[in-house]
Structure 1
Amino acid sequence: MYKVLRSILFCFDPEWVHYFSMNGLKFLCRIPGIKKLIVSGFKPQRSKPYEFLNLQFPNRVGLGAGFDKNAKYLNELEALGFGCVEIGTVTPLPQAGNDKPRLFRLPKDKALINRMGFNNDGVEAVTARLKAWQQRQSSVVNRGLTDSPLTPLHSRLIIGGNIGKNKITPNEDAWKDYEKCFLALHDYVDYFVVNVSSPNTPGLRELQEKDSLRKIFAQLKIKNEELKNKKPILLKIAPDLSQEQLDDVIALALEIKLDGLVASNTTISRDGLTTHNSQLTTIGSGGLSGLPVKARSTEIVKYIHQKTNGQIPVIASGGIFTGADAKEKLDAGASLVQVWTGFIYEGPGIVKNICKEISNIQS
């Protein structure tokens, strides 16, 4: 069914399709009884809650940052069965991002190229939506509404906050942007991910150097200690790190007792693609995600796990389309997996299918 729909949707601009599809789902979920039907159709039946970062995740399949940048679709994504949703990347000030077109499909490679550029509504607007979501969830529990997957037998949707710096902020002041987002979102997300690895903000990846990272995390840890409820803080890394850079990140993570790593972001590499070079040239720069990143992502996850004897928890992201893909990441040492490009290609049943396939493989 979805393959037929996908062939139609793929005729249109990817960014337009994204908003059309999610706003359509939002409309449907507002109709009495429809969300309950969606939940019954897509909620994983064979998954168990999983404890990670001292949080109870409904399942081990999450949605990576960049899909719901502004926390507009949490209700709808919850209905599709996601165990967690990472909102953002959020910056202190609203920003439009890079010029359109900025999102491209590579169907032959089951991949996407994006150069979005941290387009988001700014931390103030996102915080307001998260506050409203939190209040609604409390109401759902108190009133015992039946059209929500949130019941005493199921863990609630976990929300991650992916934070970044504004394009206009110089790197020497980047820590201030991360701190602003951290403080604003602190009461409304369950964990944080510091994004210094997107290839679409000029100079951002320079912050992956050890000294820059130490400065950012030193400030965040100070603020985290001052606040009532400490939140886990993770770092999202690029798949393009050299061996030396990766070792530096691991050493720093152990030194400062980082709560975990997300491996990995998109790559600037175009190696091994089936898509013709002329099309890639026309598309231009941007981060590549999807199946071409799968092997490198797994390699990094496995290396981190072995190098640290499992001391640094890892969320795996990159090339996850099936239960076998997810199982590969979990076997490499990941605690959770995140999908994004796989969601576009496999459709709304991806969480249910992955959880079912993992269960079948394990049994």
Structure 2
Amino acid sequence: MLYTKIFKPFMFSLDAERAHHLTIDGLAAAPRIPGALAMLRSMYGVKPSPELAVSLLGLNFAHPVGLAAGLDKNGAATDGFANVGLSFMEVGTVTPKGQAGNDLPRLFRLPSDEALINRMGFNNEGADAMADKLSRRRNRSLPLAVNIGKNKTTPNELAHEDYRLCIQKLYDCGDFFVVNISSPNTPDLRALQHGDELRLLLSTVREEMDKQAASRAKAVKPVLVKIAPDMTDEQLGYTVDTIAGSGVSGIIATNTTISREGLTHPNRSETGGMSGKPLRDRSTEVISAVYRQTGGKLPIIGSGGIFTADDAYDKIRAGASLVEIYTALIYKGPDVFRELTEGLKERLRRDGFRNVMEAVGSSHH
């Protein structure tokens, strides 16, 4: 209520990227303000409940709803985010070297469509700066994923070395890793989703993850691949086949879309990746296709257009074990985590499931 009545109107009066930076700066400062984290927890925290607990990738999640990459690009505000009700979060996308990203303006709201369009272009401070920030993290109870990408100036034939570098610099900082090859805002990045380039990239990533784990005499950390929603059925089939054969731990479906179908807001003409409600059905279709193709054996995190408990539940029933949000947080505020988790509990009870894991992929049975 506080968000929609006071905070959101103020934020929406500002340029979208400025509002984004204010949010991150505020949450980054919260741990230094006496009582701020406790206040966030009492306002937005989600109480653990056994029916929503998820055990996946060797990690424990209090409930299935996390935060997608793109909001906390540098890992600056993880302690603040850990207190607003989410169960895991992705930081990044991070690249080996810091880079400015694309020219401003590059982030646009489409309120009538409940969508965002961004062409940020992996703006971030680089892997060393992120490692420094994450090494100071106080709250380590939430699983944290580091989303990694390549620098804009790195040609695709050398892209695998950028992902290797990110892992080398950040291995100790993340509980799991996400290989981002599906942002539409880095030239030719999506070409890495196919064929030999994808095979080389994933074998390099696996090799480096194994090497880092072995040097610490510990089990290797999980790696997921984030895919685009804009592939044809045939392309998606090949891509999933390659990912499943590479031995990585899972798939995140999906990234933002270049489609503008059904949009009404004037900002629909802006280039970039679109996230939010209009992406909901397509991302659920992709989850369903991935689940079918892999026989439900490859873990899926569902992302794209989740605004309501029904949206989240549809993705879980389609095959996602976890889901993540971004755009809904901008439009609805941190209350959304409580709304989604309470709603999921109601739907599980209605359908006779004792735990959310029982519902995963249930629309296929």
Taking structure 1 as the reference length, the TM-score comes to 0.91
2:199 matched residue in structure 1:
214
Equivalent residue of 1:86, what SS?
A: strand
Kept after mapping to 1: 8 A contact 2:148/2:179: yes
Kept after mapping to 2: 8 A contact 1:46/1:356: no
Q: 1:200 aligns with which of 169, 176, 185?
A: 185
Q: 1:234 aligns with which of 224, 233, 239?
A: 224
Is the aligned partner of 1:15 residue 2:21? no
Instruction: Summarize the Cα distance change of 1:47–1:16 in structure 2 as closer, same or farther, 3 Å threshold.
Output: farther
Is the aligned partner of 1:67 residue 2:57? no
2:251 matched residue in structure 1:
261
Shift of residue 137, structure 1, vs aligned partner: 4.0
Amino acid at match of 1:169: T
1:40 matched residue in structure 2:
42
1:280 matched residue in structure 2:
268
Instruction: Summarize the Cα distance change of 1:59–1:102 in structure 2 as closer, same or farther, 3 Å threshold.
Output: same
Alignment partners' CA distance in 2, 1:328 and 1:292 = 15
Kept after mapping to 1: 8 A contact 2:113/2:264: yes
Alignment partners' CA distance in 1, 2:26 and 2:181 = 32
Is the aligned partner of 1:92 residue 2:96? yes
Alignment partners' CA distance in 1, 2:41 and 2:5 = 22
Equivalent residue of 1:38, what SS?
A: helix
Kept after mapping to 2: 8 A contact 1:45/1:356: no
Instruction: Summarize the Cα distance change of 1:12–1:224 in structure 2 as closer, same or farther, 3 Å threshold.
Output: same
Shift of residue 256, structure 1, vs aligned partner: 1.7
Shift of residue 273, structure 1, vs aligned partner: 1.0
Alignment of 1:127-276 (within 5 A): 127-133=131-137, 136-137=138-139, 156-228=141-213, 229=218, 230-276=220-266
Mark the runs of 5 or more structure 2 residues left unpaired by the alignment: 350-365
Kept after mapping to 1: 8 A contact 2:85/2:334: no
Shift of residue 47, structure 1, vs aligned partner: 3.5
Is the aligned partner of 1:359 residue 2:359? no
Kept after mapping to 2: 8 A contact 1:329/1:337: yes
Kept after mapping to 1: 8 A contact 2:48/2:62: no
Alignment of 1:91-110 (within 5 A): 91-110=95-114
Alignment partners' CA distance in 2, 1:47 and 1:355 = 9
Amino acid at match of 1:32: P
Kept after mapping to 1: 8 A contact 2:24/2:72: no
Moved more, 223-232 or 287-296: 223-232
Alignment partners' CA distance in 1, 2:100 and 2:187 = 15
Kept after mapping to 2: 8 A contact 1:87/1:160: yes
Alignment partners' CA distance in 1, 2:149 and 2:190 = 11
Alignment partners' CA distance in 2, 1:360 and 1:255 = 37
Question: What whole-Å deviation, never above 9, does each CA across 1:170-201 have from its counterpart, x for those lacking one?
Answer: 01000000000011111110111111110001
Kept after mapping to 1: 8 A contact 2:94/2:148: yes
Is the aligned partner of 1:290 residue 2:276? yes
Amino acid at match of 2:268: L
Kept after mapping to 2: 8 A contact 1:291/1:319: yes
Equivalent residue of 1:274, what SS?
A: coil
Kept after mapping to 2: 8 A contact 1:46/1:355: no
Shift of residue 8, structure 1, vs aligned partner: 2.9
Shift of residue 350, structure 1, vs aligned partner: 1.3
Equivalent residue of 1:358, what SS?
A: helix
Alignment partners' CA distance in 1, 2:174 and 2:48 = 26
Question: What whole-Å deviation, never above 9, does each CA across 1:209-232 have from its counterpart, x for those lacking one?
Answer: 121110011111112222333111
Shift of residue 44, structure 1, vs aligned partner: 1.0
Shift of residue 46, structure 1, vs aligned partner: 5.2
Is the aligned partner of 1:122 residue 2:126? yes
Alignment partners' CA distance in 1, 2:173 and 2:27 = 24
Amino acid at match of 1:270: R
Alignment partners' CA distance in 2, 1:251 and 1:314 = 14
Alignment partners' CA distance in 2, 1:22 and 1:183 = 26
Alignment partners' CA distance in 2, 1:325 and 1:183 = 37
2:292 matched residue in structure 1:
306
Alignment partners' CA distance in 2, 1:307 and 1:22 = 38
Instruction: Summarize the Cα distance change of 1:137–1:75 in structure 2 as closer, same or farther, 3 Å threshold.
Output: closer
Kept after mapping to 2: 8 A contact 1:46/1:359: no
Shift of residue 21, structure 1, vs aligned partner: 2.5
Mark the runs of 5 or more structure 1 residues left unpaired by the alignment: 139-155
